[in-house]
Structure 1
Amino acid sequence: MRSTVEEMQAARSAAQAYRHQPGSLQAAHVYAQLFVPVPDEAALAMGQDYLLQQMEQAAGLPCDLPGHPAALAGWMEGRTGEVARAYESYLKERQQGAPRRYFSGKAHALNFLRRVAPTKMVDGAWLYSAVKRWRDPLYRPLILTYLEELGDGDAAMNHVTLYRSLLAAHGCEHGPALSDEHYVQGAIQLGLAHHGEQFAAEVFGFNLGYEQLPLHLLITAYELNELGIDPYYFTLHVTIDNAASGHARKAAEAVAQAAAQASDTPAFMEGVRRGYLLNELGASTLGVIRSFSLQDEVVQVLTSKAPFGRMMHSDYCRIGGKTVNQWLEQPEGMARFLEEMQKANWITRGKEASQSRFWRLIDAAGGQMFGVFDGYEKQVIREWIEEGWSDGRRQPTFRALARGRENAAAEAPAVPAVALREVDLDALVADLAPGRHHIVPGLEATRLYSQRYRRACVA
């Protein structure tokens, strides 16, 4: 249970023996190498190196974590109270007519879902190493939290399958090219997943920070529902992370219990602090939300399509003195292309999209460009065309549109029922890994592990 300075130095020396590239490791590369069913030795060494790199980066950040484990419960309750008051204030503002705080429209919200996907696709990963420690009662809170993140093997409740289904429901399966910052949190979580035995205190600390209920989670769920997007993935986290009996409470209690039994409590708490601060790295939720520009996004959508549309259009139509093929030969000119389509009345801004010839080409059944743009891309184009226009009707919320909806993960593969029997938990651990737990063998292994472990806990 110790995470001493000497252990950190030894780990750093071991990692430095295997350098993968000059300078800093790239989060996206680490993520890609670790988010596989079975990472190889080189990937694991890279993950260790990356964790150490990120801990050094986070070391100087301000930290509100109390130094004594006995103060954690009060600290957690104080944070929860602040979030509750802030959310109450937000709701009052909205009831008095204030606009949405986060999302300007549905395209903005879907853009957010796509850009945070690298983190959501490894939800709970930092706890994976705990399932190997099932004989140690100190790891029970972490194991139970991980099993709940995995839906206890139920595909309809597995957080990764839930998020995949959410993206698929809106044509967002194929995400955009993202900056390295968007992969930092996912890479950290995958690094902890595969090196949690070495960084035990850091896992406890990261879990403590991640499981605290943030204000942005509440507001995100509220506004997604307003925009007709299923908020269940986010509301689920609101409920299971509660400070009364949920993951937030378990995380604080787990740290206090582990610290009490550590041979060197100050060293253990220093490791907890290192892990806690890892939550502060990478692209933040609010940073991702604020980075969205509808104008920039519609240009990016067309730019990404340009290489695939070259020489696919006839030359009888000219826009701004050029054929469509000539425009598409210069992807960097898509902003100008949009301007010229407006001048030529192919696009009429500020009115219902159906009044624009370009929209009818891409949206109407039988349109010459039907199927070229996916659901997300069409939402971006539609909102850009209609910007400033409204039919005056109130948009129904997701819940209003889907009373009695089926679970968001209904499309996930069914898992065959398995009879409860004595099983070897160690033999199931590999299939509970971040890159495997959401596929059928992993779901089945999770069900068996959960059944056996929970039964043993009450025996």
Structure 2
Amino acid sequence: MALEFDFVIENRQVAFSGILILICTCVTITVYLRNSKPPQRPERSNGSLAQGRKRFKEPRPAVTTNAEWTPMRELEFYKELYFKLQNLEEHPDTIPVARQAFLVLLSQALEDYDNELNKNILSIKRFDKNELARFLQSHQDRVTSQYHQYISRRQSGGPRELFQNQQAAGDWLREIAPLKLVDGAWLGHLNKITMPFSLRQIVRQTWQVFTEELGNGNRDQHHVKIFEDLLRVFEPELPSPITKAILHPRYKLGNLKYWRAAVAQLLVSLFPHDFLPEILGFNMHFEALQLDTMQAAKELPEVGLNAYYFLLHVSIDNGHSGHAAMAMESVADYIRHITDTEGEVAAGVAWKRIQAGYIFSEWQSRKGSQPTNLIARLNSVSDDRLESKLLAIFGSKIQAAHRLHCGSRVKIGKRLLSEWLDPEAFLVEEWQREFIRCLSTSQPWIYPGDSRKSKLAQEFRWGGRMYGAFTKSELETLELWINSLDYARTPDYYSFIEPITHSWHQISKISNTDKNGKFVHAGKSGSIETANSLPKDPLGKYLGDLPTNPNLSVLLPLWFTQCCLLESFLYAPGRTTDNIGCAVVRFLRAQSGFETEDLIVTGTDEPSTTENGGVVEFGLEMIRHASIPILQDLYSLFSRWPSEFATTMLKLASSPIRNFGVLLGMSVAFLELQEMVSESSNPGLLCPKSSERLALLVRRQYQCLQACLQEIPGGDTRHVDFHRGYDMAKVEINKCF
């Protein structure tokens, strides 16, 4: 019985093993037969560059498209630009790239702008102050209405809508941080001595907005510092926004939208001589009331955080006496000035440019998350050269790819791909040009202007049929060429503002630095001139011979140029949050004639008459008293009275951090010059009232410079530089008498 039982078990084991072997054999045969089936022919298409045969039915690796790479590369580009624009004296070669980037982004904003809003800025065809006021009030009404609805939802038991808890609030604050850490930067380069004198009052009022963003030189009221203090609740070791450390991913700051918006702020003010209307328009939108600002002011205290930064912007930006009101007045004053000096046509162009600046700011908040192919558009290679480079790449690949496409039935234009890539035929230039022309219109392989959508570019990436056939640089050339194909159809900034009148839209006569950081003095023709080559003023000898008068032909160039010495120190708001930065803010406010700082901002109450002017206005008064025609700007003054030392001052001032000690010493020396003029009994210089006011401003400026010196530690080389700058300036000032 036992033997019988064992035999049964053994037979069952054998049977089971046999069944298992049979199953494995069937699976093997099935897999073999499946793999040995002839590949199916693909459908014929007019858009395939691959061989057209599927060797396997299992799915290919996912194709990595440009849609996944472009935002990442663009984000890194913005972060790098963010750093360089706040450290321009170390990166002067960034300026040409910055100008191109500004124009590309501005053009993109105008291209993307739609008319879906009930009433947009373009509905005001010709400038009318009352219509503009109604438009801005309408915007505020929409925002306050939305806020009222939000409060109603909250009072009815609705949850917070920006963030649900403190951790989420921290994530939100990190996200917007790049933008808030440059608060005010859209006006950072505005108050330049090289701006036309006739625009001083307009620029002065707009620059007042900037200084109030900087707390008027009070650290506790500095907007960037207030936001830094809030963010440090979550990031105690937060680095300064002007350092490269702020870009590190460990801080998890921002995304594409907010890095781009921050860079846009830094870009828009960078060329005040060329784009003042755009700055004024940007300022007018950016200072308008925003819903998320009001919501943040409401929700942050609910999660135990200080909301004062946002509450501050709800109040200080008000449309009655705050920044929004000042922004609109600056626009109205500018249009009035252009109408009076250039006429209605120029004023029409100025208004369109103001609209463009307004749209540029609005676009950041509405469509700021979308990639723009910025890097491709900034490429300095022309379209023709791109095409030639691409043809050279194709030509170099032909021998390696010869006959590999012979099985493809795809046509490019009227020829098969294999015909196009015939080595002998491709030697003919006309053949190459026809190929590239036909390829540029062959969809889905090429979508002009969109390398992300173009399948040809996808096929060269991982997962594509031709992955590895093109190197990284070759693929980038292909993408640049694809993206360039749509430029002719892209509406840009210049077509938007046509017609352009050049009499009031001129490139800066005096630039800051050349590529090597050296000062460049550009003439009307764009050539570089030296001070000695400028025309002499026929009145120079007469002025020098005036009895008991200083030599105005020597004094006036220095008098106006002294305003440049510390003006560039402020362009990066994050540099002005310490005691030195705040002292420089107060110094420049006094130099510009602003009233003594108070804990309460003056807003529209700030006097703006010539009687409340600053150093520039005193210089213009001296010119009037000497019966000299009013000069247009610093360039025209140099043309009349060349000054080598004034040019040196501008050069040194273009590197305000590196030369801070020297500039500080020069500034103190020029305060002594101001004091001498204020104490002069000669009525040919200043009237008694102006002399009295100048003396007051001298004392205020001196206090600010003393505060700067006290912050420089003993043994610091800036003390040595201070004395060197002082001595240099004193030698030149003595020549005025």
TM-score range, shorter-chain basis?
Answer: 0.5 to 0.7
Q: CA deviation at 1:186?
A: 1.0
Q: In the alignment, does 2:507 pair up with 1:431? A: no
Q: CA deviation at 1:81?
A: 2.0
Pairing partner for 1:123 from 183, 196, 199: 183
Are the equivalent residues in 2 in contact too, given 1:183–1:282 (CA < 8 A)? Answer: no
Match of 1:198 in 2: 274
Pairing partner for 1:154 from 218, 224, 248: 218
Following the alignment from structure 2 to structure 1, what is the Cα–Cα distance between the partners of residues 145 and 254? 34
Pairing partner for 1:113 from 148, 173, 198: 173
Sequence identity percentage: 26
Are the equivalent residues in 2 in contact too, given 1:160–1:438 (CA < 8 A)? Answer: yes
Are the equivalent residues in 1 in contact too, given 2:317–2:323 (CA < 8 A)? Answer: yes
Match of 1:451 in 2: 590
Larger Rg: 2
Match of 1:208 in 2: 284
Following the alignment from structure 2 to structure 1, what is the Cα–Cα distance between the partners of residues 83 and 318? 32
SS at match of 1:169: coil
SS at match of 1:116: helix
Q: CA deviation at 1:454?
A: 0.7
Q: CA deviation at 1:283?
A: 6.3
SS at match of 1:123: coil
SS at match of 2:566: helix
Q: Which has the higher contact order (CA 8 A, sep 6+)?
A: 1
Match of 1:311 in 2: none
Are the equivalent residues in 2 in contact too, given 1:436–1:442 (CA < 8 A)? Answer: yes
TM-aligned CA distance change 1:23 to 1:81, over 3 Å: closer
Q: CA deviation at 1:80?
A: 1.6
Q: In the alignment, does 2:339 pair up with 1:275? A: no
Runs of 5+ consecutive residues of structure 1 not aligned to the other structure? 1-21, 289-422
Q: In the alignment, does 2:581 pair up with 1:442? A: yes
Following the alignment from structure 1 to structure 2, what is the Cα–Cα distance between the partners of residues 204 and 160? 21
Are the equivalent residues in 1 in contact too, given 2:570–2:581 (CA < 8 A)? Answer: yes
Note the alpha carbon deviations across 1:285-326, whole angstroms, 9 max, x for none: 9989xxxxxxxxxxxxxxxxxxxxxxxxxxxxxxxxxxxxxx
TM-score (norm 2): 0.39
Match of 2:328 in 1: 252
Note the alpha carbon deviations across 1:218-241, whole angstroms, 9 max, x for none: 011101111111000111111110
TM-aligned CA distance change 1:286 to 1:279, over 3 Å: closer
Following the alignment from structure 2 to structure 1, what is the Cα–Cα distance between the partners of residues 128 and 182? 28
Are the equivalent residues in 2 in contact too, given 1:129–1:197 (CA < 8 A)? Answer: no
Aligned AA (1:30): L
Match of 1:383 in 2: none
SS at match of 2:219: coil
Q: In the alignment, does 2:348 pair up with 1:266? A: yes
Match of 1:221 in 2: 297
Match of 1:49 in 2: 100
TM-aligned CA distance change 1:52 to 1:98, over 3 Å: same
User: How do 1:8-407 residues align onto structure 2 when only pairs under 5 Å count?
Assistant: 26-36=77-87, 38-60=89-111, 61-62=113-114, 64-65=120-121, 66-67=124-125, 68-70=127-129, 71-132=131-192, 136-171=200-235, 173=238, 175-176=251-252, 178-262=254-338, 263=342, 264-282=346-364
Runs of 5+ consecutive residues of structure 2 not aligned to the other structure? 1-72, 239-249, 371-560, 596-606, 613-737
Following the alignment from structure 2 to structure 1, what is the Cα–Cα distance between the partners of residues 359 and 135? 16
TM-aligned CA distance change 1:84 to 1:23, over 3 Å: closer
Are the equivalent residues in 2 in contact too, given 1:31–1:186 (CA < 8 A)? Answer: yes
* Corresponding pairs, count: 305
TM-aligned CA distance change 1:79 to 1:159, over 3 Å: same
Following the alignment from structure 1 to structure 2, what is the Cα–Cα distance between the partners of residues 199 and 35? 19
Following the alignment from structure 2 to structure 1, what is the Cα–Cα distance between the partners of residues 171 and 74? 31
TM-aligned CA distance change 1:38 to 1:164, over 3 Å: farther
Following the alignment from structure 1 to structure 2, what is the Cα–Cα distance between the partners of residues 146 and 24? 27
Are the equivalent residues in 2 in contact too, given 1:72–1:256 (CA < 8 A)? Answer: no
TM-aligned CA distance change 1:90 to 1:23, over 3 Å: closer
TM-score (norm 1): 0.61
TM-aligned CA distance change 1:155 to 1:43, over 3 Å: same
Note the alpha carbon deviations across 1:82-136, whole angstroms, 9 max, x for none: 2222222222221121111221211111111111111111111111222215851
Are the equivalent residues in 2 in contact too, given 1:211–1:247 (CA < 8 A)? Answer: yes
Following the alignment from structure 1 to structure 2, what is the Cα–Cα distance between the partners of residues 431 and 90? 42
TM-aligned CA distance change 1:177 to 1:231, over 3 Å: closer
